[in-house]
Chains A and B, each alone.
Chain A
């Protein structure tokens, strides 16, 4: 039972463009929504996270947009760079262990 649906599965973006990855959830008890970044051969690492009391959180070129009523959240990568090429996982937790989306493989091409 997938509790967090992530799209797209893969994404190709030109250098300097905006990368957008979307996630949707059903469980209204979720209260923490992180994004993890994973480079090949490495474990995932926390990139940015948001709680539902705010609609947006920005850290450098990375922004999470959160829509509580639609039960959706998204990751925006501004001015995408080849070094951003990685797999990105959205996740969510409430009073349960962290649940991950299936991941998006991002390729930023020059």
Chain B
């Protein structure tokens, strides 16, 4: 089954304790992205990756890191989480089309609900 998986689905942690949220896709997509979803603010992009070893900042990158060492994986790293990073996080992937960032449809994972106390 074609899908984007995220782990963990739920995480409660304390301020300053480093954490990693994993994301993996089995569709051989070039483009991957991380979003956070907050009430009233919609989906905001954190980082994206056009391909292996190519990453770029989205709209809200502060406090986050990413890496893309393999095509299928795109982990999100919070080196020192803070309470304002409490949110619902989504990973997404898409095939890249001709000349553009991606052809069209993004496939989203099921989400990771993170609480930082």
Judge: A and B partners, yes or no.
Answer: yes
A9 to B92, CA, bound (A): 24
Which chain B residues lie closer than 8 Å to A34 at the CB level?
A: 104-105
* Given A95-B100, A97-B58, A45-B108 contact (CB < 8 Å): yes
Interface size class of B (residues with CB under 8 A): 20 to 34
B12 on the A face (CB < 8 A):
no
Instruction: Kindly list chain A residues whose C-beta atoms are within 8 Å of the C-beta of B102.
Output: 93, 98
Supply 16 further A-B pairs (C-beta < 8 A) apart from A6-B42, A32-B104, A43-B109.
A41-B110, A42-B110, A43-B92, A43-B110, A43-B111, A44-B108, A93-B101, A93-B102, A95-B100, A95-B101, A97-B33, A97-B101, A100-B35, A100-B42, A100-B44, A102-B42
Rounded to whole Å, the gap between the CB of A59 and the closest CB of chain B is 13
Residues of B within 8 A of A45 (CB): 108
Q: How many A-B residue pairs have CB under 8 A?
A: 53
Query: What are 7 A-B contacts defined by CB distance under 8 Å?
Result: A34-B105, A42-B111, A43-B109, A43-B111, A46-B104, A46-B105, A100-B42
Question: Any chain B CB within 8 A of the CB of A49?
Answer: yes
Looking at chain A, what size class is its interface with the partner chain? 20 to 34
Chain A at the B interface: mostly helix, strand, loop or mixed? loop
